[in-house]
Amino acid sequence: MKVRQLVILSLLILNPIYSQDLSTVFGTLSEQLPKVNQLMIGLMYMLGVLFCFIALVKLKRMAAKNAFQGGGEGNASGPIIQFFLGVFLIFSPTFIEISSQSLFSNSSSPLSYGGGSGSGLSQVYTNMYSIIQTIGLIVLIRGIIMINRVSGGQQAAQGGTYSKGIMYVIVAIFAINIGVTTDVIRASFGF
């Protein structure tokens, strides 16, 4: 069934009559995506403040409990990790910009990538890139929430959840920088 859907989708993309309609659909969708990106960045800010607040409340409860019981009980690593994840979410737009400039900059920096500019892309691919960038923001939020759940001990029974969260964050960074990522892959494999 999936092969049939893939064949139908490829025929629709390759057909010039339908590609004009597809270009219109992707164009309209990409015009609305900056608003979705602003919503996702606002969600990152709100989740960051919430994570920091919850972590500080947990640390306060742990300190009060340890002061009354007189022992060093409890592990503070979970709330501390949650606090740092909250700070990361608050500063995530700045972090994304800095990591994009550090890893994928087109300046005269020795760390910059000097690959092609990707000017041969059609309008459909350009619009698809903006969709992938929005999905990258959503995946970044998902990865940080997964890491937060592991730090809080909510998913300790499932193995590999922490590494899945880290992989979501890495994939999100590549998806947010999809244009340069495809240029790097294209130049690396000689396409």
Domain extents for the chain?
A: 32-189
Q: Percent of the chain scored above 90 by pLDDT?
A: 2
**What are the CA-CA distances from residue 59 to residues 49, 55, 68, 104 (Å)?**
15, 6, 14, 38
Report pLDDT for 63. 80
- Give pLDDT, residue 53: 93
Let me know the angle formed at the C-alpha of 96 by 94 and 101, rounded to the nearest 5 degrees.
95
- Which contacts qualify for 161-167: CB closer than 8 Å, 24 or more apart? 167/143
d(CA 150, CA 143): 11
Given a cut of 60, whether residue 117 has pLDDT beyond it is: no
Inform me whether the pLDDT recorded for 81 exceeds 80: yes
- On whether the pTM is more than 0.85, the answer is no
Comparing C-alpha atoms, which of 170, 100, 116 is closest to residue 139? 170
Q: Between the CA of residue 108 and those of 105, 111, 114, 185, 188, what are the distances in Å?
A: 8, 8, 9, 21, 20
Least confident of 5-14, 29-38, 77-86, 97-106: 5-14
| For residue 50, pLDDT beyond 60 | yes
| Closest to 165 (Cα-Cα) out of 144, 184, 136, 189 | 144
Choose among 138, 130, 171: nearest CA to 47: 138
CA angle 45, 97, 55 (to 5 degrees): 30
Least confident of 111-120, 127-136, 165-174: 111-120
Q: Of 112-126, 142-156, 159-173, which gets the smallest average pLDDT?
A: 112-126
Q: What is the mean pLDDT of the chain?
A: 75
